[in-house]
Amino acid sequence: MILPAEPKLFSIGGKYLLVAGLRGGPPPRLSGSVALLPSTSFHSLRHLVMAALRAIRSFRHGVNISDNFSYEVGICLLGIREVSKVIERISVESDGYAFISCCDELGECLRPLISLLMMGFELSEVKPGYEPEDLPSCTGNSECLAMERGILVELER
């Protein structure tokens, strides 16, 4: 499943979640409720959105592992509780990135995306490259395996 270039907007529990595919680089350090994740860290748009939802929920309930939104989404994507390993996996240059912004107002979500576009990033389709290498699938549905890894972290909270 390719991450589309056109931004996708989701409304979740009074918050907005904006997701888009980007190309460019190297990735800048982002703050606030914004994440720029390499294509090797996610399997599909659904995988991204579910991980972002789990990260939002973890902050809301005070059970987040990291204080950084990007790292918390990475934890929920990769199913890794060690923040240093998550940082290592999501802080790599890539041919494509997933942009995720979570905010209370739509304008707040658009500002960081516009900033990245002004820095030379481009909206682009991105082919996800995440495969859970240590979890072979007898059914071939590696998207479900990728999502289950993230769910395991939530169950352990």
CA dist., res. 71 & res. 53, Å (int): 13
Question: pLDDT category, 137, cuts 50, 70, 90?
Answer: low
Q: Is residue 92 part of a domain?
A: yes
CATH number, position 61? 3.30.2380.10
Each residue's pLDDT tens digit, 9-62: 999 878 999 999 999 978 888 888 999 999 988 888 988 999 999 999 999 999
Mean pLDDT of 124-133: 78
Kindly tell me if the per-residue pLDDT of 134 is higher than 80: no
CA dist., res. 146 & res. 79, Å (int): 8
Q: What's the pLDDT score for residue 83?
A: 94
Q: What's the pLDDT score for residue 87?
A: 93
Q: Is residue 100 part of a domain?
A: yes
Nearest Cα neighbor of 130 from 46, 17, 44 is: 44
Q: Mean pLDDT, the chain, as a whole number?
A: 86
Q: Is residue 113 part of a domain?
A: yes
Q: Is residue 120 part of a domain?
A: yes
Q: Is residue 3 part of a domain?
A: no
**pTM, full prediction:** 0.85
Task: List CB contacts of 90: < 8 A, sequence separation 6 or more.
Answer: 37, 38, 41, 70, 71, 74, 78
Each residue's pLDDT tens digit, 51-95: 999 999 999 999 999 999 999 999 999 888 899 999 999 998 898
Each residue's pLDDT tens digit, 114-125: 999 999 999 999
Structure tokens given for 138: 């007898």
Q: Which domain holds residue 42?
A: 8-156
CA dist., res. 122 & res. 110, Å (int): 14
Q: What's the pLDDT score for residue 3?
A: 87
